[in-house]
Amino acid sequence: MRAATTIKAVFTFAVFSGIPALLAGCSPTQDASPTASTAQDWSESGNYIVSYGPVLEPFGNNSSNSYYLYEPKGQEIAHVQGSGSWTPVALPTNGGSYLYFADSIQQQGLYNGSVEIQDYAPITYFGFSPEGSMAVAIVNSSQSAKFAHQAIVLKEDGTNSTHDLPLVPHSLAVGEKHAIVIGYTPTGTASDRRMFLLDAEGDGREITFPDGYEVNSPDFKYPHVNYLGDGLFEILQGRVEGNRTFLTAFEVRVSGDDTLDIEQVTEHVMTLHEDFAVTRTLPRGENGFIDREGRVFINRRDSADPELTGTIEGFSEKQFIPMNSAGFDPKFALEKGGKIEVRSWNAPEKPLTIFDYHSEACKDSSCGVSSISEVG
């Protein structure tokens, strides 16, 4: 899954820039005062984690990343705070949720896994398996003109493995036992594609594209790999005509020798209206967007026009908060009147649940809600 990219007015993929002034790392602290929380709450299906921290640059040396845990009906359970860095994110697994801080990724829950990272190296792509076995974070530790990216496999039992990627990543999909990263050669172009396979046992290796895939075909502004469930991935190549992208999907499974076996090849079309305000990659190969009038659309995995699912009254793209959804009902959020409303892409006109916006989590104007993660 692409690092749940939000695209406003133009398409973007990697979201990172300069490294701010350093501050001393510190262990996160937990405040469980709202209700009596347990370790299980950080992996309880249906709960939500709201991630606060720097979303604009530059940000100050006293910034913090804060994670607020909620029940499905909006009752706050607990929150954790630690040293801050660019666009914090929570990655749920069955053994607890991994939380990103300035110098580490730390698991909160039944297990207490932790992995140190380069100070202020941002997570540019991430994903977690639908059934909660693992999560993957791609950390950008590039220095100056030298590209460097690490893929960190974060397992539910608190163990992890780190892999140096021989490519500049732009797409990530995470399944139950494997994850696939697609990118391009650091000295090449976006159409000079390479692919890297990760597995839950800690192995990682570069692999070849499926037979018939045109490695040097034109680039396009959608993820090049998606996880479809039940061990099935799709590797995509595309052709762009105006606001439509014609996709050829190679539906594949990872074989015992770490090659990709093709099950079938299908054709799909993604259409993006010219007046879109935000667009998001949704689970299982779908795409959603909201136009400036607040109309919500979903591109299904077919050749039909985008499906209008509803209209949000008084919508502004400044209200939009990206969500990392679990299950079959993708969600997004809006910040409105000091509250955070969670809504469904499939039925967006009424909130599913509402949280308080914690302005005290932010110490300067660079801070806000980076994203919300739904525990699956």
Most confident of 18-22, 127-131, 362-366: 127-131
Q: What is the mean pLDDT of residues 288-302?
A: 98
pLDDT for 19? 29
pLDDT of 337 > 60? The answer is yes
The pair of three-digit structure tokens given for residue 36, joined into one six-digit string: 């009596």
pLDDT tens digit sequence for 241-288: 999 999 999 999 999 999 999 999 999 999 999 999 999 999 999 999
pLDDT for 192? 85
Per-residue pLDDT band for 7 (boundaries 50, 70, 90) equals very low
Q: What is the mean pLDDT of residues 276-301?
A: 98
Residues 6 or more apart whose Cβ sits within 8 Å of residue 188: none
C-alpha R_g of the chain: 20
Give strand pairing partners of 82: 65
CA–CA separation, 316 and 314 (whole Å): 7
pLDDT for 29? 72
pLDDT for 187? 84
pLDDT of 9 > 60? The answer is no
pLDDT of 15 > 50? The answer is no
Per-residue pLDDT band for 191 (boundaries 50, 70, 90) equals confident
Range of weakest confidence among 20-34, 213-227, 259-273? 20-34
Range of weakest confidence among 55-64, 106-115, 362-371? 55-64
CA–CA separation, 167 and 196 (whole Å): 8
Q: What is the mean pLDDT of residues 118-141?
A: 96
Per-residue pLDDT band for 6 (boundaries 50, 70, 90) equals very low
pLDDT of 10 > 60? The answer is no
Single pTM value for the model: 0.91
pLDDT for 36? 52
pLDDT for 179? 98
pLDDT of 14 > 50? The answer is no
> Which phi and psi angles does 75 have, rounded to 5°?
-75, 125
Higher pLDDT, 143 or 15: 143
pLDDT for 13? 33
In 3D space, the residue among 138, 177, 134, 178 whose CA is nearest the CA of residue 158 turns out to be 134
The average confidence (pLDDT) of the chain is 90
pLDDT for 49? 98
In 3D space, the residue among 25, 103, 126, 93 whose CA is nearest the CA of residue 370 turns out to be 126
Per-residue pLDDT band for 364 (boundaries 50, 70, 90) equals confident
CATH architecture of 6-374: 7 Propeller (2.130)
How do strand 323-324 and strand 367-374 relate by DSSP bridges? parallel
> Which phi and psi angles does 334 have, rounded to 5°?
-130, 140
Per-residue pLDDT band for 293 (boundaries 50, 70, 90) equals very high
What are the sequence ranges of the domains in the chain?
6-374
| C-beta of residue 358 within 8 angstroms of C-beta of residue 66 | yes
| C-beta of residue 239 within 8 angstroms of C-beta of residue 245 | yes
pLDDT of 24 > 50? The answer is no
pLDDT for 30? 67
Q: What is the mean pLDDT of residues 74-97?
A: 96
